[in-house]
Structure 1
Amino acid sequence: MALLLALVILSIYLFRSPTPQQESSGLGRSTSAYITVAAFLLGALCSGIAGYVGMWVSVRANVRVSSAARRSAREALQIAVRAGGFSALVVVGMAVIGIAILYSTFYVWLRVDSPGSMKVIDLPLLLVGYGFGASFVALFAQLGGGIFTKAADVGADLVGKVEQGIPEDDPRNPAVIADLVGDNVGDCAARGADLFESIAAEIISAMILGGTMAKQCKIEDPSGFILFPLVVHSFDLVISSVGILSIRGTRNSGSKSPIEDPMAILQKGYNLTIVLSVLTFGLSTRWLLYTERAPSAWFNFALCGLVGIITAYVFVCITKYYTDYKHEPVRTLALASSTGHGTNIIAGVSLGLESTALPVLVISLSIISAFWLGQTSGLLDEAGNPTGGLFGTAVATMGMLSTAAYILTMDMFGPIADNAGGIVEMSQQPESVREITDVLDAVGNTTKATTKGFAIGSAALASFLLFSAYMDEVAAFAQEPFKQVDIAIPEVFVGGLLGSMLIFLFSAWACSAVGRTAQEVVNEVRRQFIERPGIMDYKEKPDYGRCVAIVASASLREMIKPGALAIVSPIVVGLSFRILGYYTGHPLLGAKVVAAMLMFATVSGILMALFLNTAGGAWDNAKKYIETGALGGKGSECHKAAVTGDTVGDPFKDTAGPSLHVLIKMLATITLVMAPIFL
């Protein structure tokens, strides 16, 4: 599919007119087309490798964690964190290295800044294909992985827990292997591709805005503003490694030593990473963003970075509050389960809706603060107008993602701990060992929810930057200003409505894909229990492979429709209104309608993703809270109601919600790449 889309991009760029900057530098249509396609394919390849490495490490760390849990909770935690850390460092490293290779290759090949050649300030525009390639693979990895893991999970829970009354991860459940495989596919591979795409999109958009601002302000050496994002994420690799290595284990007996709170240990590592991030960010801004035209501008941009770092920290705290069972929201949700399945669903939906308020306020405050700090940095364009606002927002996004490797480590920790618990259950280890893996699993649920909150926050800021970059690119191709989108124009308003509709339709199709696949799994598991009654007495072995085959084939089949919707919609809308604009005398109508579609889809997508992620995480941890012995414990009517809520929340938090992070960034990158055909 990536190759097919690459051919489409090649055709579009071969037949569209180059920008004035490209014409002046001698960059023809064919060269521009091949560069964009090469960047797209490299982005897709790097995104795929990042996801594969996450899954490869996870399946090898699971057994080691389950073995370590027999000796010490802290040792099991250390192994899970360091395994997740390795995957996270590879993901961030791949994003940085891929863009650095492209930038260096194009710089040398095109003889940038030589007489008659391209200027360095225009070079980042050639990298947009890389972000689109990363988005393309991430969307299908998240969709396919989410459908796979949650269909298996829902099928295993409904028949195993609710109907047969057997524990989670019990080897008698025919869907248990598919469930455990799905944790690696959906949480490790998909989330790795998701954050890879976030980082790639943020780096490219920040480089574009840095180059644009340097051009407007006539900065003597623009390279610092363009390369700043790469340096920040290079430091991220170092400081996150320090945070990961600060988590050390012991080999004391797990049964004799008390179980420490793993969340507190992870939080200490995160706090250390945050402190180091503030220091390295300040050094980077002074080193790369100092300019004699505005000697104090670097300090304003350092404060923008601090805004982003604080935003990330607050997002982590908000998500933890709404999804950790130590706090009131999840305990209230668990209590609602005691009065039945319906009240559990009502309480979960209301919790998810409420949880959108604080993150939106935080995002709004951070965007306005960073824009104001950038605007007052002292950088002025040729007309004497302040011009650092958008770049200030870009720097804030860099600040938010400056600890991305540690955040991704906490996310990768979740499925590793979950799988370790499954191995302990299936190998019939002592209860004390299962208690340790249960604690790690519950913390893993919280860290996974935390990462999703972090991902949607970074997606919101990155999409804002990409939207600005899209408007700049349209202005360059149209050779006229494109500074605002007027939603009072009926066609533009319709574009906005279509953008919001896209979010809801995409979410519906993603959830229904899980539902249909789960029905196949439920029917298969029921069939095996009926036809093989000896399974319950361990006299017959379930056919695990059949369930794995069902979810694998169904996930590949079901992800096509929502994935195609996401890719085709902005192109069809843009082309349709371009034709309408041609006949009505409004040449920029297609670009304006797509801009409105992108704007409304981003806003709706942020709110929907926050609702889906938090509600799903809260339902899951309400079930975990009851399984600790509260409100009747495992097997009680309260527990059965909580399992129903968890089942509803599964496609919310692991399929539709995370896919929306990718969708809103992919809409931004696809419009950026396809901008020429809207004019």
Structure 2
Amino acid sequence: MSVEMNDMAAIPEAFGGPMVNYQSSRKGKQYTSEIERLVYVYNQMDWKAKKTITYSLLLGYFSLLLIFRLCTSDFATLATASALVTSIYALFFAFWLAAFVFRHDEGDAAMQSIADPIREGSEGFFAVQYGTIAKISVLAAFLLFMLYISRDDTVLGAVGGGKATTVSSLAMALITACTFLIGAFCSALAGYAGMWVSVRANVRVSSAARRCYNTAIQLCFRAGGFASLVNVAMVIGGLSFIMIVLRVIYPTLEFQQAPLLLVGYGFGASLVAMFAQLGGGIYTKGADVGADLVGKVEAGIPEDDPRNPATIADLVGDNVGDCAGQCADTFESIAAEILSAMILGGSLADEGSMNKGVTAGFVAFPLAVHCMDMVVSSVGMMLIRAKKGMPTHSAKDTADEDPMKIMKRAYSVTLFLATIGFLVLCRWFLWVPNTNSWAWFFGCGAVGMACSYLFVIITQYYTDYEHNKVRSIAFASTTGPATNIIAGMAVGLESTAAPVLCISIALVSSYYMGMAATAGVVPASEATKSGLFGTAVATMGMLSTAVFVLAMSNFGPIADNAGGIVEMSQQADEVRLITDKLDAVGNVTKANTKGFSVGTAALACFLLFAAFMDEVSVYTGKRFESVDLARCEVFVGGILGACLVFLFAAWAMNAVGRAAAQVVTEVRRQFKERPGIMDWSDKPDYYTCIAIVSRSALKEMIRPGALAALSPVVVGFAFRIIGSYRGDTTLGAQVIAAFLMFSTAAGILMALFLNNAGGAWDNAKKYIEITGCHGGKNSEAHKASVVGDTVGDPCKDTAGPSVHVLIKLVSTVTMVLTPVFCGQIATSSVANVAGAGIIP
């Protein structure tokens, strides 16, 4: 978009005219989306009309639930339809949050001149990036179709005296390919929601920071809440809708069998999340590292200074990387957890010969938990407010309550409500006659909730500058960059111990409580399935506040953008200090969410691994419950799995390094050839840096993404061929099982190290800048901390988040392509859900 000179009147004359001249075919302010038009119409209504709409929607919701209850006695249908309606109503509340954000002004012309190119750059890159991902997804869907159509028909065995359901190879191929594309589309839409709101909220937060601290933090958090609600609503709505459609197409299909047809959905979500994290991470950190190295270290100018040619690219990267990527990642985690838990719940209910109502409760429980999550997290979002808000304020005023305290207070309420809701749902959905199973399962969920809370506390301890770990890195900066990096690596390595211990305790305790829950109901020989479902319930407990946690994550990049807009538009110092407070807390919340994501990925991968073992049992006709690591081929598979994590992380880091090097070269060139930039007599060319990182991100994301998707396929297929020559039909499955175990273990540790070390380096720099310790800004300690921060940036925002997406992608790819590792089965084979729980 071309920014006219007369639109820049508010910019100081020292700038020599427009700061940004970013060309685009878009119509800028004349272009508005349909959502923006609806929000505008809503905001023009008076309070009586809004109140009428609110009450009408609430009445409609409860009326629909009542109609469902009166029209059907089938608990499965009632639960699925209620989940679908609840997800739709969550979108209505998300619309209200968007209306709250759009009700506030976009600031003066100077602010808008910065926000407009950030928005256009973000949306432009998103369109190109997701266009590339769409082509990859269509190709993957075609390959899945060809794989499944070459198989024999699948027969879902009769359950509870019902009729068997036969799914033809063509139908199975279409279902898998379509669910894959639906999962990919929903994941992409969830990522777009995160980016869409962040590029519209950033300038409004900047403007609000000039007037009211309380309004600024509410805007920032509720904008993040919009994206998180859309995210979870898309997961629930997509899965519920597909299950309803499948039961219409196959009337004889039992409710617990429907999730077995949805393996493609999780794979689609994983594939999109992988490329979204990679591409966005390479973009944001390539620009960020390049901007910091030349701007802060060499030129000695502040962060987000308008004289830095890479500043706009850096701010664009916050949206396409942190917002869109994290939303896609969380979508993937929740989808994987729901699918695996529904499969395990149905299998467990069948083993205990439970009636249809009880069975439906076990299968629908994950949907109910996440519907509850949307409700309680929405309540928590409304509690985000400072105790003392002031219409005008100074950033140094003690009346400005610490943003982290505000979020902790709201999160505590959300967690308390989630605990109560989880207890009620356990009693309602997981009650087995004449047992206390629901109480044991609630204990599993409580373990997951405690694990979630501990992850936040542990991550904060290692990444927040209020604690000694980060301050030790800042102190180490006084003796140079080398000691800063050594101290940061030590903190990162140490930070893996407590989370791993937490995960281990959660898995073991929930496993044994799950076994105790169905003692006397499920045969002792199948007690392991009860234990596995207990770990699934613990995972659901951990994700029971996922909407609120994701909103905290989205808070960070929006605050970062707001700070950049304030700095580049030359606002008053007290306004910049307000956005600095929000930005510093945003760094911690992003780090907390990354730790939370690693924990949920670990538990979800354990469930997916268990599902894979059951699936192999069906294909081979043999019980597949253990893997012999002392066997040479199996051990080699494990080593290859661990190696994948390191190689993948290396390629992701190298991609950032190459992108950053190009940015550094371009920024140096502009400073050298246009010296007027530094004395404000000339303006930098922002577009060239945007173009550089865009091209680099799109190019560099392909190689590590292909490595992640193809490695398990190549390893499993190769050892299947070897096994066929040696007369061992399960060798491929055994090797890929070890591949999964080792890659998951290595991935958890690697992700924890990269995320926490990067966050600690970042906040060590912030500590020196904000508090003035060790010489403050532009001191030697500060320059050393900037070097450490540039090392940590690709760790915490590119390689780290991508690694925990990697381990989930490997699991979902393996589940979908199990026929490659085990060979075809005869048409006469029957996938009896009551016996194995997984479809062939």
SS in 2 for 1:537: coil
Where does residue 605 of structure 1 map in the other structure? 747
Shift of 1:203: 0.4
CA–CA distance in structure 1, aligned partners of residues 438 and 449 of structure 2: 16
Is 1:63 the counterpart of 2:203? The answer is: yes
Where does residue 33 of structure 1 map in the other structure? 173
Task: Kindly indicate whether the alpha-carbon contact (under 8 Å) linking 1:619 and 1:642 is maintained by their aligned counterparts in 2.
Answer: yes
Where does residue 338 of structure 2 map in the other structure? 203
CA–CA distance in structure 2, aligned partners of residues 248 and 317 of structure 1: 22
Where does residue 265 of structure 1 map in the other structure? 406
SS in 2 for 1:485: coil
Where does residue 636 of structure 1 map in the other structure? 779
Shift of 1:408: 0.3
Where does residue 713 of structure 2 map in the other structure? 571
The one-letter code of the counterpart of 2:596 is F
Where does residue 453 of structure 2 map in the other structure? 313
Shift of 1:86: 0.8
Task: Kindly indicate whether the alpha-carbon contact (under 8 Å) linking 2:155 and 2:167 is maintained by their aligned counterparts in 1.
Answer: no
Where does residue 125 of structure 2 map in the other structure? none
Q: Which has the larger radius of gyration?
A: 2
Shift of 1:22: 6.7
Where does residue 142 of structure 1 map in the other structure? 277
Where does residue 121 of structure 1 map in the other structure? 256
CA–CA distance in structure 1, aligned partners of residues 298 and 152 of structure 2: 63
2:213 to 73, 77, 81: 73
The 10-residue stretch of structure 1 (605-614 or 480-489) with the greater mean CA deviation from structure 2? 480-489
Where does residue 152 of structure 1 map in the other structure? 287
CA–CA distance in structure 2, aligned partners of residues 145 and 661 of structure 1: 15
Is 1:167 the counterpart of 2:294? The answer is: no
Shift of 1:122: 2.1
Where does residue 432 of structure 2 map in the other structure? 291
Where does residue 482 of structure 1 map in the other structure? 624
SS in 1 for 2:431: coil
The one-letter code of the counterpart of 1:441 is D
CA–CA distance in structure 1, aligned partners of residues 690 and 526 of structure 2: 61
Where does residue 316 of structure 2 map in the other structure? 181
1:350 to 490, 505, 510: 490
Shift of 1:276: 0.4
2:662 to 497, 516, 520: 520
Where does residue 110 of structure 2 map in the other structure? none
Is 1:378 the counterpart of 2:518? The answer is: yes
SS in 2 for 1:376: helix
CA–CA distance in structure 1, aligned partners of residues 155 and 484 of structure 2: 60
Task: Kindly indicate whether the alpha-carbon contact (under 8 Å) linking 1:75 and 1:251 is maintained by their aligned counterparts in 2.
Answer: no
CA displacement 1:526-556 (0-9 Å, x = unmatched): 1111111111111111110110010011000
Aligned residues: 673
CA displacement 1:398-425 (0-9 Å, x = unmatched): 0000000000000000000000000000
Unaligned runs of at least 5 residues, structure 1? none
SS in 2 for 1:26: strand
Is 1:87 the counterpart of 2:227? The answer is: yes
SS in 2 for 1:188: helix
Is 1:432 the counterpart of 2:574? The answer is: yes
Shift of 1:74: 2.0
Task: Kindly indicate whether the alpha-carbon contact (under 8 Å) linking 1:355 and 1:614 is maintained by their aligned counterparts in 2.
Answer: yes
CA–CA distance in structure 2, aligned partners of residues 659 and 19 of structure 1: 35
1:277 to 414, 418, 426: 418
CA–CA distance in structure 2, aligned partners of residues 479 and 243 of structure 1: 49
Where does residue 502 of structure 2 map in the other structure? 362
CA displacement 1:350-390 (0-9 Å, x = unmatched): 11000000000000000001001001113443466534100
Shift of 1:15: 1.2
> Normalising by the residue count of structure 2, what TM-score does the alignment of the two structures yield?
0.79
CA–CA distance in structure 2, aligned partners of residues 170 and 405 of structure 1: 34
CA displacement 1:171-202 (0-9 Å, x = unmatched): 00000000000000110000000001000010
1:227 to 350, 364, 369: 364
> Normalising by the residue count of structure 1, what TM-score does the alignment of the two structures yield?
0.98
The one-letter code of the counterpart of 1:195 is T
Task: Kindly indicate whether the alpha-carbon contact (under 8 Å) linking 1:22 and 1:28 is maintained by their aligned counterparts in 2.
Answer: no
CA displacement 1:447-492 (0-9 Å, x = unmatched): 0000000000000000000001111111122222111111111111
SS in 1 for 2:262: helix
2:347 to 212, 220, 223: 212
CA–CA distance in structure 2, aligned partners of residues 290 and 523 of structure 1: 64
CA displacement 1:572-600 (0-9 Å, x = unmatched): 01110011111101101111111110110
The 10-residue stretch of structure 1 (655-664 or 473-482) with the greater mean CA deviation from structure 2? 473-482
Shift of 1:123: 1.7
1:5 to 110, 115, 140: 140
CA–CA distance in structure 2, aligned partners of residues 236 and 463 of structure 1: 21
Shift of 1:243: 0.5
Where does residue 543 of structure 1 map in the other structure? 685
Change in CA separation of 1:374 and 1:382 when aligned onto 2, cut-off 3 Å: closer
SS in 2 for 1:167: coil
SS in 2 for 1:333: helix
Shift of 1:17: 3.5
CA–CA distance in structure 2, aligned partners of residues 251 and 184 of structure 1: 30
The one-letter code of the counterpart of 2:176 is T
Question: Runs ≥4 in structure 1, deviation > 6 angstroms?
Answer: none
Where does residue 440 of structure 2 map in the other structure? 300
The one-letter code of the counterpart of 1:192 is C
The one-letter code of the counterpart of 2:620 is A
Taking only the aligned residue pairs, the percentage that are identical comes to 59
Task: Kindly indicate whether the alpha-carbon contact (under 8 Å) linking 1:16 and 1:677 is maintained by their aligned counterparts in 2.
Answer: no
CA–CA distance in structure 1, aligned partners of residues 367 and 410 of structure 2: 23
Is 1:533 the counterpart of 2:675? The answer is: yes
2:466 to 303, 320, 326: 326
1:656 to 791, 796, 799: 799
Task: Kindly indicate whether the alpha-carbon contact (under 8 Å) linking 2:154 and 2:166 is maintained by their aligned counterparts in 1.
Answer: no
Task: Kindly indicate whether the alpha-carbon contact (under 8 Å) linking 1:20 and 1:476 is maintained by their aligned counterparts in 2.
Answer: no
Shift of 1:442: 0.4
Unaligned runs of at least 5 residues, structure 2? 1-135, 159-163, 823-840
Task: Kindly indicate whether the alpha-carbon contact (under 8 Å) linking 1:617 and 1:649 is maintained by their aligned counterparts in 2.
Answer: yes
CA–CA distance in structure 2, aligned partners of residues 260 and 542 of structure 1: 38
Where does residue 47 of structure 1 map in the other structure? 187
CA–CA distance in structure 2, aligned partners of residues 434 and 579 of structure 1: 62
1:192 to 323, 327, 331: 327
Task: Kindly indicate whether the alpha-carbon contact (under 8 Å) linking 1:69 and 1:254 is maintained by their aligned counterparts in 2.
Answer: no
Shift of 1:19: 4.7
CA displacement 1:585-641 (0-9 Å, x = unmatched): 110111111111011000000000000000000000000000011111000000000
Is 1:674 the counterpart of 2:817? The answer is: yes
Is 1:501 the counterpart of 2:636? The answer is: no
Where does residue 562 of structure 1 map in the other structure? 704
Task: Kindly indicate whether the alpha-carbon contact (under 8 Å) linking 2:202 and 2:558 is maintained by their aligned counterparts in 1.
Answer: yes
Where does residue 595 of structure 2 map in the other structure? 453
SS in 1 for 2:543: helix
Task: Kindly indicate whether the alpha-carbon contact (under 8 Å) linking 1:507 and 1:656 is maintained by their aligned counterparts in 2.
Answer: yes
Change in CA separation of 1:519 and 1:22 when aligned onto 2, cut-off 3 Å: farther
Task: Kindly indicate whether the alpha-carbon contact (under 8 Å) linking 1:19 and 1:477 is maintained by their aligned counterparts in 2.
Answer: no
CA–CA distance in structure 2, aligned partners of residues 503 and 254 of structure 1: 49
